[in-house]
Every structure is written in structure tokens, then in C-alpha cells.
Structure 1
Amino acid sequence: MENIASTPMLRQYREIKKSYPDAILFFRLGDFYEMFFDDARTAAPILEVVLTSRNKNKQNAVPLCGVPHHAWENYAAKLLRKGFKVAICEQVEDPALAKGIVRREVTHILTPATALEVESLDAGLNNFIVSIRRDGQSMALASMDLAVADFEVKTFAAGNDEALFNEFYRKFPKEIVIAREFENEFRLFSKRFPEFAGILVTVFDDAEFAVSACAEILKNQFSLESIEGLGFAAYPAAVAAAGVMIKYLRSIRPGALAHIAVPRFSAREDYLVLDAVSFRNLEITANLRSGTSSGSLFEAVDMTITPMGRRLL
């Protein structure tokens, strides 16, 4: 019996997939992007396409589904809204000139907060990524909206978890980058606020948050001799959160960092901050019924015309 999973094409697929285990791989085959194995099982019901298989009558049939290449943005947007990462794998040589199997490479990676080219996502809403770090002295939250180059870092007193989570809820991010030691605690938070159940969570080893390495990343990014001018050199947690944010974005969208300005920084609040429960129950930006802006305070006062104006509001 032929082993379908060991054909040259699927061997190429498996080799590429190894480098992107946490993403749904859109694998270009002619006029379609195909998904195989677990990716196909996961994506088919979300994309509302048929889950089929190669050699479906054989014991080792390979699950697959596919979408037309000319409509990939609409399908990718469905996965992004559900909190998935999508890797686009293209044919990078002319099939007519290829000797053997066509060479393919992942040309770009899409995530819920970085997919700037997917027009079917709501351009009028902020798409924040946040990075959180805590140490014995303080806690820090770095946030970034790539579309408007909004980079901010805030610190909170050690043990003041409520203030940290209130700021997190106010940002309502699409993605979070956390240290492995913080993973269980965030899982408990998402159970308390189920609206974050679908957020894309990227877990870094604790060593990735090393303050000295993160300081070097910030100096290189902003062409600085020292990070003293950023205002948070005395806050190791803030340095780590901001550095890991840049490190993560370099791995996903390196070209998008050229226009990023130095982050705004604050270590205390000079104004009233609504706690997360009040923010949700008052339906400031989203209603409790469907989670959309319909009927919210935001919708009532939103008289803006452009997506940029809506983001500013």
C-alpha cells in the first residue's frame, strides 16, 4: 500500500510545518492554499469548508481542506478572529522550470494584532499586543498597536495585580506575550473573563526576559547609547517587557518596526481608572450580549469618519 504521508510534496509540507508548529500553514498548491493533518481538522469548521482527504478510501488517508488563493485574506481573517496564527507558504519558483518538486517557503506570518495587510479585519479598532513581566520590585505591561505605532510601557507596584489586569482589560489586546512562569496565572484570569479565551498567547522562556539582553534590544531598535532617556531604566520589569515586545515583533513582522517611536512610559496613574469588572459591566466598548460595540457607550459617542479617528477615540 502506498504511504501517502511520505510523498515528496507531503514530506516538504512536514519539513516546513516543523518550523511553524503553532501556526495554521496555508500551503500553496496551484490555485489553492491547502491545509493538512491537524491544521485541516482545526481550520475546516472555522473556514466553513469541506474536510476531505487524499486517497480517502485508504487506511492512511491524509485529512485536508483548501481555499482559493485569490480569496485567502477573507479566510485568513476568520482564523485570526479566533486567535490563530497563520503562516503563508508560497511557491517561490516557476513550476514549469522546477526540477522535481516546486520549492516553497513561508513568506509571511499573520497574527491577530499584526496582520496589517488583511483588509477584512476591522481597521477602525485598536489591535494591541501586550507583553507582561513581573519581578520582586514591580510589574510591567508593554503594549503596541502596530497600525498607528502606539508603543506604551506602564509599571505597577509588586502585588498590585488588580491594577495590572485593569490596564490589560482596558487595552483589550488581541495577543499577549508572557513568561512561562506567568502562564498558569493568566489562564486563571482568562477563566474570570471568558472574553479573552480566544486571545493568542505566546509563551517565552523566562530567560528571554533577561534585562541586560532586553536593554540591548531597545538600544539597537532606537539607536541609543543608553536606555536612560526612555525613563524606565530603573524598572527592570519595564525594560524586560519592552524588550521582549520588540523581540517578538522582529520574529513576526521585522519590517514593521522601522517607523516605531520610543515608548511612552508612566509609573503611576494621575487619573481615575475603571476596574476591569466595571469596565465590562458598564459596556464601555462592547456589550455583554454579543461582545460587539453595538449598544455600547463607544458606539453612542462615535461620530468619527475615518478608521484613524475611530482608533484615536
Structure 2
Amino acid sequence: MDTRIGWNFDSSQHATFNPLRPIAVHRSKTVPWPTHSKTNSPFRRSRARFLNENRIIGGPAINMRIFHRLFVLRAGVIALILIVLWAIAIGPEPPARIIISPDELVRAVTIQRDSLVDLCLMEGVDPNGRDAQGRTPLLIATSQQDWKTAHKLLDAGAAVDLGDKNGFTPAMAAAMHADLEMFGLLLTRSTNLQPEKPCADGQDLLSFALDGGDPEIIEAVEQRLPILSGWTTSTRRALSRALQAGKNDEIRLLLSKHSAPPTPEGRSQRNYADARGRSGPSRLFADSD
């Protein structure tokens, strides 16, 4: 065995006992792989290069740069927020909220400015304001046949039974213009309907309904009449109209609303004995001599 030390055998089955010699390697120089080695190596025969340690950037240096950038970014955001708060603090106060008066709503309905009407209603303006004549926005809208605006005012809580200085009400306007839908809506929301109460010119709700000519509106008004002590101009007109049309049910309804039958001037008391169901309109005005 002693004689074998330092020898190289050609066979790979025999171990070599060549002592390892230290190889002086300079930094950043290439070390060739020994080509005369007979042992098998798990690595390919390539050249290995050692990196210069001075060129390696350590991890702590990178972390410090990231930390510095985040610190600057956060400091900038905080400074910006402080500047905004300072500007708000020393800036002028915001203007006070403009309060829209009910007169503006009355004017908007009068000139039919839908956008201004919507703005007033959105701001919660009182829908029951009045103009110089005492007209409410609802009365103005129904008088102008602006049914769309009238619906908006009703939804906003407009009072139905408020009339102007002459006693003219929205229900009278709807009856005069023969709008059955609006008239029915006003009747359902009315809390103090007085169909027998006349205006300053002597006309009542039945008079305006007769002027409009809608039979359903006329019948609805007649049904809501209270018991009257005497015949008025409107009830006489309604009775004459019912007689001409031969409407016995309407005639009986009008007679039931009065304590006594009508007595035209220059004639005696009329005989209404058969008027309540036993005779037709032809015998309603038979003279009783």
C-alpha cells in the first residue's frame, strides 16, 4: 500500500491517494476544473467564477430605501390633510341655506314653471300659500286646468277646501271644467265640503257643475246636497234639466233635498203627489186649482 501512494491508476476501480495541494485562487478569477482527475464529478465541466464581494448589495440597504420611501409618502399625505384642514378652518363660512317662501310657489304655479314648482316642493315649501286674491296654488292650478301640477300639490299635502276671497274653491274649478278624475280626487280628500255654500256672485258648486255639463259630476253634487229649506237658482236649473231629459231618479233626488216643491211666480202650489214614484215627469207640474 505504501508504494501505491502518489500513484494514479488507470482503472477506476482503484482509489487514488494523491494528496490535495492547496491552489492559490485570486478573487474574481476563473478556476479551471482539473481535466486530469479520474474521479466522477456530479457537476459539469465548466468554469466557476467567484463574485466580487464588494459588488454585492446587502438586504439591509434595500430595506432602508423602501422604509425611507414609505416614510416620505406617509408624511406627504399627512401634510396634505393638514393643509386642507387648515384651509377649511381659515376659509369663509359656507353661505346660509336659502329659504324659499310660499309666495315663490304661488308664482311658479301661476306662470306654470314646472321646474320651479318641483324645486319648491322638494324644499318642503308650504303648498297652501296665497296670492293677493287669496288663491292657493291648488286653486290656481285647477283654474288653469294644469292637472299635472294639481296632482303634485295634492301629493304634497295641499288643502282641498280652501277658497279665494270670493269663496271659489278647487272643487268648483274642477266641476266647471268637467274634469271627472280631478273632481273625484278632490271629493275624496275633502274634509269640509259645503256644496250649498255660494260664492260672492251667488253661484254654488251645483251651478258650476251644471255649467261644466258632466252628468256624473252633477249627480255627485246633488247627492251631497243637504236638506234645503228653499229652492235655489242652481237646484231649479238642475230640476228643469232633469225634467227635460226625463230623468225620474234625479227628479226624486232633488225633491228629497227640499222640504217643499218649487212654486214658480204667478202660479199656485204644484201637485207633486205622484212625483215620488207613481207618475212620470209629464204630471209633475200639474196645476192644483
Shorter-chain TM-score range: under 0.3
Question: Which has the higher relative contact order, 1 or 2, with Cα contacts under 8 A spaced 6 or more apart?
Answer: 1
Larger radius of gyration: 2
**More strand by proportion, 1 or 2?**
1
Instruction: Indicate the structure with greater helix content.
Output: 2
Task: Give the TM-score normalised by structure 1.
Answer: 0.22
TM-score by length of 2: 0.23
